[in-house]
């Protein structure tokens, strides 16, 4: 018996970051959106726990963390421990979400693993318990379960769905080399020693989403990690300028980067911007719409 679960990449439409808390995490006020770039995870019954990964052409297989501390296996063990059962099964993950790209690819896999194990092992875990286990695995994992568009508070793990009737068009340009999330947060600390305790409010983005007007959302997009990410990788700033010159309404670093996403006014606008960026030598250019569902069973 086996089960396949799909989980989506996320972008942050708003990422307000405050001064680091005593536990080292930064307080966030963020708006996540799940967009149509996916990893699919298949779990097949087996005596032992194992993991194989297959990656899309645009992903370097060596960049995918393997071994016992892969987040998929950690998710399986955490759920098993919660129920006092033994973790078992063969995982196969097919990755299309850029690795270490600021799009929560690892978090998506963890969320998919929780859903797959819960089903295959017939555990019927409550939503609250699944969300708590997800938060223990990483700040973005609860959102990867919930999907759609949602506000995240705390360190990002306290997620409330946002009513989003828009159909937003995005172009995403991954980088060949990832960027470490802790490094970007550390650089934020260095550049912003005066960061406020309370992060910048997500209200302007929430109002723009409600308007369903791409031009308004483009104006409201906000990412406090963009400055440190671009300072570490100046070429990201050039990429943002290029995409905006090629017709995108607005370009922005996704989360802690280095993936850059562009909001476009329509499907046609997204195709044109993507074509221009590919023509300018950016080998991998993805288009996607959002919002899409969180981790869900395919078959």
Question: Least Å distance between CB 18 and ligand C5P?
Answer: 9
Binding segment for ligand C5P (CB under 6 A), chosen from 22-30, 85-93, 123-131, 263-271, is 22-30
Check binding of 26 to ligand C5P (CB under 6 A): yes
Locate 209 and state its tokens: 């989403």
Count CB atoms within 10 A of the CB of residue 46. 12
Task: Rank residues 154 and 237 by Cβ distance to ligand C5P and give the closer one.
Answer: 154
Strand, helix or coil for residue 103: coil
Check binding of 214 to ligand C5P (CB under 6 A): no
Length of the chain: 299
Check binding of 16 to ligand C5P (CB under 6 A): no
Angle at 238 between CA 236 and CA 242, to 5 degrees: 115
Question: Does the active-site annotation cover 140?
Answer: yes
Cα–Cα distance for residue pair 218/266, rounded to 1 Å:
13
Question: Does the active-site annotation cover 39?
Answer: no
Task: Rank residues 157 and 246 by Cβ distance to ligand C5P and give the closer one.
Answer: 157
Per CB under 6 A, contacts with ligand C5P among 156-175 are 156
Check binding of 181 to ligand C5P (CB under 6 A): yes
Binding segment for ligand C5P (CB under 6 A), chosen from 21-29, 58-66, 211-219, 285-293, is 21-29
Cα–Cα distance for residue pair 37/98, rounded to 1 Å:
9
Check binding of 192 to ligand C5P (CB under 6 A): no
Question: Least Å distance between CB 153 and ligand C5P?
Answer: 10
**Which residue, among 3, 7, 10, has the nearest Cα to 156 in the 3D structure?**
10
Task: Rank residues 191 and 215 by Cβ distance to ligand C5P and give the closer one.
Answer: 191
Q: Which long-range contacts (CB under 8 A, 24 or more apart) does 25-28 make?
A: 25/139, 25/155, 26/155, 26/185, 26/188, 26/199, 27/153, 27/154, 27/155, 27/197, 27/198, 27/199, 28/139, 28/152, 28/153, 28/154, 28/155, 28/156, 28/199
- Say if residue 104 is exposed, middle or buried (CB neighbours under 10 Å; 0-12, 13-18, 19+): buried
Binding segment for ligand C5P (CB under 6 A), chosen from 138-146, 199-207, 220-228, 276-284, is 138-146
Question: Least Å distance between CB 16 and ligand C5P?
Answer: 11
- Which residues participate in catalysis according to the annotation? 10, 140
Residues that bind ligand C5P (CB under 6 A): 25-26, 28, 138-140, 155-156, 181-182, 185
């Amino acid at each position: 018996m086996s089960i396949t679960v799909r989980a989506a990449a996320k972008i942050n439409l708003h990422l307000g970051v405050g001064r680091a808390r005593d536990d080292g995490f930064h307080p966030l006020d963020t708006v996540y959106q799940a967009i149509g770039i996916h990893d699919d995870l298949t779990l097949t019954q087996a005596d032992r726990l194992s993991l194989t990964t297959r990656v899309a052409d645009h992903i370097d297989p060596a960049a995918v963390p393997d071994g016992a501390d892969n987040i998929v296996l950690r998710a399986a063990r955490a759920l098993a421990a919660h129920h006092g059962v033994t973790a078992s099964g063969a995982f196969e993950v097919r990755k299309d979400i850029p690795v270490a790209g600021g799009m929560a690819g690892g978090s998506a896999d963890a969320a998919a693993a929780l859903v797959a194990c819960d089903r295959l092992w017939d555990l019927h875990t409550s939503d609250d318990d699944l969300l708590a286990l997800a938060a223990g695995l990483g700040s973005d994992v609860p959102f990867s379960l919930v999907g759609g568009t949602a506000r995240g508070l705390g360190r990002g793990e306290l997620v409330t769905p946002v009513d989003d009737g828009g159909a937003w068009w995005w172009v995403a340009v991954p980088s060949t080399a990832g960027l470490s999330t802790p490094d970007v947060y550390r650089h934020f600390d260095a550049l912003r020693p005066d960061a406020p305790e309370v992060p910048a409010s997500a209200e302007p983005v929430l109002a723009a989403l409600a308007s369903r007007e791409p031009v308004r959302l483009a104006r409201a997009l906000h990412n406090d990690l963009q400055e440190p990410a671009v300072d570490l990788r100046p070429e990201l700033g050039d990429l943002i300028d290029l995409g905006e010159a090629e017709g995108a309404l607005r370009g922005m670093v996704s989360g802690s980067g280095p993936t850059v996403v562009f909001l476009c006014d329509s499907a046609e606008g997204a195709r044109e911007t993507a074509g221009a960026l590919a023509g300018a030598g950016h080998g991998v250019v993805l288009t996607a719409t959002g919002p899409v569902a969180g981790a869900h069973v395919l078959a």
